[in-house]
Chains A and B, each alone.
Chain A
Amino acid sequence: MAITRKQIMSVFILLVCVAGLVFSAFAEEKLKVGFVYVSPVGDAGWTYQHDLGRLELEKKLGDKIVTKYIDSVPEGPEAERVIRDLAKNGHGLIFTTSFGYMNPTLKVAKMFPKISFEHSTGYKTAKNVGTYMCRFYEARYLTGIVAGEMTKSNTLGYIAAFPIPEVIRGINAFTLGAKSVNPDVEVKVIWVNSWFDPGKEREASEALITQGADVITHHTDSTAPIMTAEEKGVYSIAYHSDMSKYGPKSHLTAATHVYGDFYVKTTQTVLDGTWKSDTVWSGIKEGSIELAPINPAVPADVVAHVEAVTKGIAEGSLHPFRGPIKDQSGKVVVETGKSLSDDDLLAMNYYVEGVLGKIPK
């Protein structure tokens, strides 16, 4: 009997679905602290930053706690089971580190009222659920200054994931930073509709460079934009982690977030029995936001200016969203001398002047 077409087809189909799956598709008295990650830890990116925080927590409080992480947990019903399992296995404090874990975290928290939960980047809290997030936009503003100074074409490229306020805030802060030193700058945005998709991020980077962008940055998770910029000989600014090893020449700096302090402090309050549900939004002042080392290609006076602005933001004398700020139509959205409130920042759904294109609806 020869191998029939049907058999070949079934092998082919099985291969297709395996590929599809892959792509769609990681001391008795001690306090157990659980972490839920949305992706594998890897060596750069969102989850990597959280894991650095976890490692610091282990280093500082390792004699009083043990940590455990579950990675590659999809947002949705899977998350609820994983969080519940952590709670059931005696974890006294659980950090859930992705926006999509918000409702699952709240559901599990209701079942385990004695356990403390901390959810990152969400907006719902409960008696035993706090939230924490970094003021990513502060670092975006600083990197915008670097980009505005280094561009020759006055066109900056921005690869963005999803049109939610957090991402839009980053684009606006970056643009305002760039325009503060170079009023002629324009920012082109490409949405890739994914938090992590090296292929699409690479394509978007190439498209932006073809359209004249000579500094590109990204609000996605992979190192592809940095690597593409390195190949094409333009500058890049990374997000989440220092990605300079992926683009020694192109990588100007990176907007990074640091969780070690927060994890140590929060865990300490749980150990002390003083933990309370809270909404933490911390930035440069608290050491939660940092710039990666700036590339020597950036002139010293620019570095000095960035440092001065950093200090200003930390002291509160400077706010990235200080008026006058105009939206794309030229309408003043923040009056001179005023700064946007946290509530307005959290709900931001418009582009400022200087960003090209429209927010996808």
Chain B
Amino acid sequence: MFFKIEARPEPSKAMKYFSPLVAALLMLFSGLIIFSLLGKDSIEAFYAFFIEPVNDLYGIGELFIKAAPLMLIGTGLAVGFRASIWNIGAEGQLAIGALFGGYIAIVFNDNSGFFILPLMIVAGAVGGLLWASIPAFLRTVFNANEILVSLMLNYVAILLLGLLVHGPLKDPDGYGFPQSVLFSDSALLPILMEGTRFHLGVLIAVVGVIVGWVLLQKSFTGYQIQVAGLAKNAASYAGFKYKKLIWIGLLSGGTAAGIAGVLEISGPIGQLLPTVSPGYGYAAIIVAFVGRLHPGGILLSSLLMALLYLGGESGQMNLDLPAAVTGVFQGLLLFYLLATDFLIDYRVCFSGFRKEAI
């Protein structure tokens, strides 16, 4: 053995917060190498990928509407993740939220009124919450693994949404195509910046992040969650009810995802479609971890993730880069994050050719 891995006696606290930054820088550096391997001028490619998409107001609006569902869901999931409750079902909870909210929009399509939009958001929150309560119930009553249950329910939810959009919620004048009527103006989130798609939902998502921050960082429940995640036994000795935390952990993710679903259909989509999310529920898990399960970090990491999506399109448009580059960047970011995290707790000691003492 030329090297061995040993635990650091005292993991650096500062690096816990810096490691995502280090990972992002390493990702950028590897990106430059990849760009030059693809025969592109790396500076030009860098510009096309990371600057071009946000060099005008419209682009900045796009960045935020892409980041909004990610930050909202990411924060909701972080509540559970901190307590080691693993909700992988945000994608399905988002679909059910969109279904509930979209149903309200379709029912009131001929009406106008300021009540429709708030009602849609409440319905979406309830939908996501109900869907997340299934794994919570099964976990607390039967001790069923919430990872598997919530993951499998994604498929059920997406199929359910597809079924209803192919059937009763279909636009009757739509030649049988699987999509609902276009929502009326009362069911659409108002655009806040002229000439962009920056809508009220972005602010709602930011409010959601702030609520998450108060819950996690400033409340006693947040403290309980923290303790339960770090040491489950200590939490139960302290008299914290773990079952209650399971419910809180799963339902907060479900509610956030449900609201995010409504924000999507009443924002950029404007109608109910068989698929309402390009994988936000999964991407938000990455966002939550890159953001260190801290709402502030999640806000930043959701913007980074959104930029990677936009950059992929821009790279394809301006430099004929393959669309898969986005996936490569996401993979690099995760890889470096896991690697830097590992190196916070462990160090590599090069032992050279010295004899191993076994």
Contacts and interface: CB of A to CB of B under 8 A. Distances in A.
A77 B65 contact: yes
B84 interface: yes
Contacts of B330: 18, 21
B248 interface: no
Contacts of B289: 10, 13-14
Interface stretch (B32-40, B123-131, B273-281): B273-281
Given A13-B147, A71-B316, A81-B313, A349 B88 contact: no
B331 A18 contact: yes
Contacts of A40: 323
Contacts, number: 132
Contact of B175 (A72, A78, A89, A165): A165
Nearest to B6: A1
A13 B334 contact: no
Interface in A56-104: 68, 70-78, 80-82, 84-86, 89, 99-100, 103
Nearest to B314: A85
Nearest to A81: B62
A310 B316 CA distance: 41
A22 B317 contact: no
A70 B313 CA distance: 7
A81 B184 CA distance: 22
B119 interface: no
A308 interface: no
Given A68-B317, A77-B65, A26 B282 contact: no
Interface in B154-199: 159, 162-163, 166-167, 174-179, 182, 197
B324 A26 contact: yes
A13 B86 contact: yes
Interface string B302-327: 00000000100110110000111001
Chain B interface SS verdict (over half): helix
A85 B317 CA distance: 8
Interface in B256-282: 264, 267-271, 273-279, 281-282
A361 interface: yes
Nearest to A80: B268
Given A10-B289, A164-B177, A21 B282 contact: yes
A9 B84 contact: yes
Contacts of A70: 313, 316-317, 323
B278 A25 contact: yes
A103 B338 contact: no
B153 interface: no
Contact of B268 (A1, A17, A77): A77
B285 interface: yes
B182 A103 contact: yes
Contacts of A80: 197, 268
A100 B179 CA distance: 9
A20 B73 CA distance: 16
Contact of B264 (A26, A77, A347): A77
Nearest to B293: A10
Contacts of A349: 176
Contacts of B286: 14, 17-18, 21
A10 B77 CA distance: 13
Contacts of A17: 88, 282-283, 285-286
Interface string A1-43: 1100010011101101110111011100000000000001000
A76 B314 contact: no
19 contacts: A13-B285, A13-B289, A14-B338, A17-B88, A70-B317, A71-B316, A74-B275, A75-B273, A76-B268, A76-B278, A77-B267, A78-B278, A81-B313, A84-B58, A103-B271, A123-B174, A123-B175, A164-B176, A349-B176
Given A100-B273, A103-B182, 8 more contacts: A20-B282, A24-B91, A76-B273, A77-B269, A123-B175, A162-B178, A164-B176, A165-B177
Interface of B: 7, 11, 58, 62, 65, 84, 86, 88, 91, 147, 151, 159, 162-163, 166-167, 174-179, 182, 197, 229, 264, 267-271, 273-279, 281-283, 285-286, 289, 310, 313-314, 316-317, 322-324, 327, 330-331, 334, 338, 345
* Shortest 8 CB-CB contacts between residues of A and residues of B: A24-B279, A77-B268, A20-B282, A26-B323, A17-B285, A17-B282, A25-B279, A1-B7
